[in-house]
Amino acid sequence: MGMRTRVKFCGITRREDAIHAARLGADAIGLVFYPKSPRAVSPQQACQIVRGLPPFVTVVGLFVNAAARYLHQVLDRVPIDILQFHGEESPEECNRYGRPYVKAIRMAEGVDLLGLEQAYGSASALLLDTYQIGVAGGTGQVFDWSRVPEGLSKGIILAGGLTPENVAQAVMKVRPYAVDVSGGVEQNKGVKDAAKMAAFMRGVDSVN
C-alpha cells in the first residue's frame, strides 16, 4: 500500500466547516488572506475559525502578492502553521518569514516545473493550480493532468477543479502528495457542503 494522499480543504470561512474537515480526517485547512477573494477572512475571523480545532490539523494561510507588513500582522495574530503563496512572490519573498511554505504555480502554457522546483528549492511543496487569465486561484477548473512531468523531487499538491466525482481519477493519474479543493465541496462561495466534503474524502480513500 502506498502513502495515503493528504487532503487540504481550502477557503474555509466557518468554524463548523473547519471542525467537520478535522472530523473527516483532513490533514489541512486553508484560510484565504486575500481581500479580493469571495473566501477572504480577516485575522479576527481566522482566529475564531481555528479555535477549538483538534491538534495535528495543519492550518495554512494563503496570500496573494501580500505586503510584508500585512503578512506579519496576520502571523502575529493567527496560529498559522504553513504559508501558501498564490501570487508572483519570488523565492526570496517566500523565504522572508522564516516559516515553511508552499508555492502555488498556475499551470500556464509552457510553465517549466522542473526549473521552478529548483528556484523554489526551500518550498515544502509546489501546489499546481489551473491557470485562468485574470484569476489568481480558486478557478473551479481542472488543468490537463498529463502536463505534470515525472521526475519532480518535491511533493506535488494537486489543485484546480477537483470534486468528489473526479478526485479518485486525479489521484490515480498524478499520484500527488496531497489534493487541495475549494469550490468542488461548496454550497456557495466560502460555504462548504458537509456531504460533499465527506464524499471527497471517500473519493480519495477509494484509491489509497
Instruction: List contacts with ligand LARABZUK (CB under 6 A).
Output: 10-11, 30, 32, 34, 37-39, 62, 64, 86, 129, 136-140, 159-162, 180-184
Contacts of 110 (CB under 8 A, 6+ apart): none
Place of cell 502553521: 81
Q: How far is the CB of 65 from ligand LARABZUK (least distance, A)?
A: 10
How far is 33 from 30, CA to CA, in rounded Å?
10
Residue closer to ligand LARABZUK by CB (options 19, 142) is 142
- Tell me which of 17, 27, 129, 180 is the catalytic residue: 129
Which residues touch 49 (CB under 8 Å, ≥6 apart)? 12, 13, 14, 15, 18, 29, 31, 41
Q: Which is nearer to ligand LARABZUK, 5 or 37 (CB)?
A: 37
Q: Which is nearer to ligand LARABZUK, 94 or 159 (CB)?
A: 159
Rounded to whole angstroms, how far apart are CA atoms 129 and 201? 19
Catalytic residue (choose from 10, 17, 94, 180): 10
- For the CB of residue 186, give the shortest distance to ligand LARABZUK in the complex, in Å: 8
What is d(CA 6, CA 156) in angstroms, rounded to the nearest whole number? 11
Query: Grid coordinates in use for 63?
Result: 496570500
Is 10 a known active-site residue? yes
Shortest Å distance, C-beta 1 to ligand LARABZUK: 26
Q: How far apart are CA 205 and CA 168, in angstroms?
A: 8
Cβ atoms < 10 Å from Cβ of 157: 27
Q: Which is nearer to ligand LARABZUK, 5 or 139 (CB)?
A: 139
CB of 127 to ligand LARABZUK, least distance (A): 6
Smallest separation, CB 112 to ligand LARABZUK (Å) = 20
Q: Closest CB to ligand LARABZUK among 78 and 86?
A: 86
Confirm whether 27 is a catalytic residue. no
- Report how far residue 152's alpha carbon sits from residue 85's, in angstroms, rounded to the nearest whole number: 19
Q: Catalytic residue positions? A: 10, 129
